[in-house]
Structure 1
């Protein structure tokens, strides 16, 4: 690495850590709790003056350190979310990844290594076409493009912001308290967490889908832009948006913060298998205490949870040590993990064009 490249490398790391100050953290916390759309409301809730909130949110966004979008309640629009692990045949990697996209249901695809050496993908499949999708994956294998696949149907999507209790604002450094987190999972007081209620398909039309699609790319999309897109007046567009929110179509506001520089961090998908359903439900509440958990979903028909983890590379071995200790302590039955390659990530919104009023 040349001196110039090394200088840019460390400058980028310093830039990211320097932006994690008290005011930005207050703003980020308010955005997650109250939603990211109304910056004036965020200013009131966080106690940070509105001009400062406006400037800081825009700066974080333009520098790629903050992104916001809305995760829709896919079940309410008749879609079932799945996670697919596909192992391509040697030499057929590119074709296999393209085959995952052909039905148009894909949401997210990336190369992965670990439990699966191939592709990790998520899909939003019309409920009535779930078996057709499984048969299509069978054909990918039978055609020789892949040697095998596994499919998991997922429950609700839950996202978190980093737990800044473990961030030292003076030192601009994170504290990874692995012994405390081990104790939390093995000895922590279990809380009663309500069961996820299975959502069913609700009434909606093409314009509702267009609004949800736009919010899935940008949670702060202006109502004026939405009204132009669906060809309605601003009051009518606002009524549509408020109605979707009231009826539970907006499942989660995702506030994606970059807590660690990507140059020194890794992205993982970790599956935790619990001995019983009750233990899984009770311990899910601990995830938000961990500063490296981005999101998680239950795997339907199992006592398992799949967790997205973003962590400095130097801490990965400590994570694996923690997971191994959780197995020995009977907090979980087993675990598996995959390293996801951020440079290969491709994403799109749900396949709204296939819907016919």
Structure 2
């Protein structure tokens, strides 16, 4: 009962349902074809999508615009190994009162891809980096320096190999 009250007070479930339903309201055969093409091909220019889907460019433009208004975003998946980079995920436990400072330092690093902040159970910063494959100690050196100047308590670095955004896992490819 208490957990339901907490969920209801912090998350407006009806708002989530209303926003989610907007996506389903616009799904018809053509929009489904567009979404499937975007999923399969990734972001493409409208001419390419028009050719693949068989939908005229002007119609496609308006449909993509409506689809994006529902909250669907299309972003490229970067194959970092082909660019001479490695992908790292870092979990950082900041010292009390230092979260904003650590965030601002890391947010200005050019090889930082994504940064997320969490306050529970204590102040944490989660970061995805793309670092040069031949110089992957650069992240460790940065974090040691932040620890030395007492901005962070601890950190953990994970090298990640695959990004599986919205993919269906198949045991042929992933041993899980």
**Normalised by the size of structure 2, how large is the TM-score?**
0.72
1:23 and 2:30 are equivalent in the alignment: yes
* Unaligned segments of structure 1, at least 5 residues: 1-5, 164-184, 194-280, 284-357
User: Counterpart of 2:86?
Assistant: 80
What does the per-residue CA deviation read over 1:88-141, in whole Å, with 9 as the maximum and x for residues that have no partner? 111111011123235432111111356874111111112233213202201212
- Structure 1 runs of 4+ aligned residues shifted over 6 Å read none
What whole-Å deviation, never above 9, does each CA across 1:281-327 have from its counterpart, x for those lacking one?
Answer: 234xxxxxxxxxxxxxxxxxxxxxxxxxxxxxxxxxxxxxxxxxxxx
Match of 2:159 among 150, 153, 162: 153
Q: Hey, what does 2:130 align to over in structure 1?
A: 124
Aligned-partner SS, 2:116: strand
Is it true that 1:107 corresponds to 2:107 in the alignment? no
Q: Within 5 Å, which residues of 2 pair with 1:26-37?
A: 26-37=33-44
CA contact (8 A) 2:23 2:67 kept: no
- Asked if 1:54 is matched to 2:34, the reply is no
**Unaligned segments of structure 2, at least 5 residues:** 1-11
Q: Which has the higher contact order (CA 8 A, sep 6+)?
A: 1
**Cα gap change, 1:36/1:105 in structure 2, threshold over 3 Å: closer, same or farther?**
closer
1:245-324 mapped onto 2 (5 Å cutoff): 281-283=174-176
Distance 1:159 1:11, change over 3 A: closer
Aligned CA RMSD, in angstroms, stands at 3.3
Give CA-to-partner distance per residue, 1:307-354, whole Å, 9 cap, x none: xxxxxxxxxxxxxxxxxxxxxxxxxxxxxxxxxxxxxxxxxxxxxxxx
Deviation, 1:28, is: 0.3
- 1:85/1:150 contact within 8 Å kept: yes
